[in-house]
Amino acid sequence: MNLDDLHHITGIAVDAAIFAGAIAAGIKFRVYNVFGYRWRTDVTCSHAELADGSVILLADYVVNNTGRRPLKLTDVSITVHAARQSGQLIEHDESKVITARVLHAGDRTLQGIFLIEPGERTIFPLRARLDRLDEYVFVTCTFATLAQRTPTVFRSFYVRSAGPAGAAAQPQTATELRDDDDQ
């Protein structure tokens, strides 16, 4: 075997290795992408004023699993923050927490709601009796997964007066769509 034959054989081996690597990369980034984590979240808020002047605030954080893998949550938090005005903009004030609820997957009273199968949803409620409710507030919702991926913080804006004085408040809904291709 001469040097030209050896060069021809190694050239074919290198080409085959590059081709195999390209196929493996295509499988990893395209085929397994079908099984990525995907979800849609919604927040619905409403309130009711009581005779003693206090307010019941209702917030539902809904997590819909739109992917093809089970979504395993470890923690869910729903926090209501006061708002502040900065010029013409309204911003949430992280230093003024009105109320908060943190739910953990280890809580025995909440078994089954932290594993969301494909095509299913789970509703995480916040029910709070407040001495008063500001005219507008931010509702911040987050969850953590076993996939070691930190989802985006979802902020909803709730305006207390949804209609004429004395009218029942209509629920307000905000939606976030996430598509994480975590393997």
- Interval 86-140: pLDDT, tens: 999 999 898 999 999 999 988 888 888 898 999 999 999 999 999 999 999 999 9
Contact between 76 and 142 (Cβ < 8 Å): yes
Q: Does residue 38 have a pLDDT over 70?
A: yes
Residue in the structure block whose two tokens are 């990893």: 28
pTM listed for this prediction: 0.71
What's the chain's average pLDDT? 81
- Percent of the chain clearing pLDDT 90 (strictly above): 40
Contact between 61 and 41 (Cβ < 8 Å): yes
> Bigger pLDDT: 181 or 135?
135
Angle (CA) 28 34 39, round 5°: 125
Q: Which pLDDT score is estimated for 173?
A: 63
Choose the CATH number for 37-180 among 3.40.50.150, 2.130.10.10, 2.60.40.10, 3.30.1330.10.
2.60.40.10
Q: Which pLDDT score is estimated for 167?
A: 45
Separation CA 55–CA 132 (nearest Å): 6
Smallest CA-to-CA distance from 39 within 113, 125, 145 is with 145
Q: Which pLDDT score is estimated for 182?
A: 44
- 174: buried, middle or exposed (CB in 10 Å: 19+, 13-18, 0-12)? middle
Residue 70: which pLDDT band, with cuts at 50, 70 and 90?
confident
What are the pLDDT digits (tens) for 136-175?
999 999 998 877 666 778 888 898 875 444 444 556 665 5
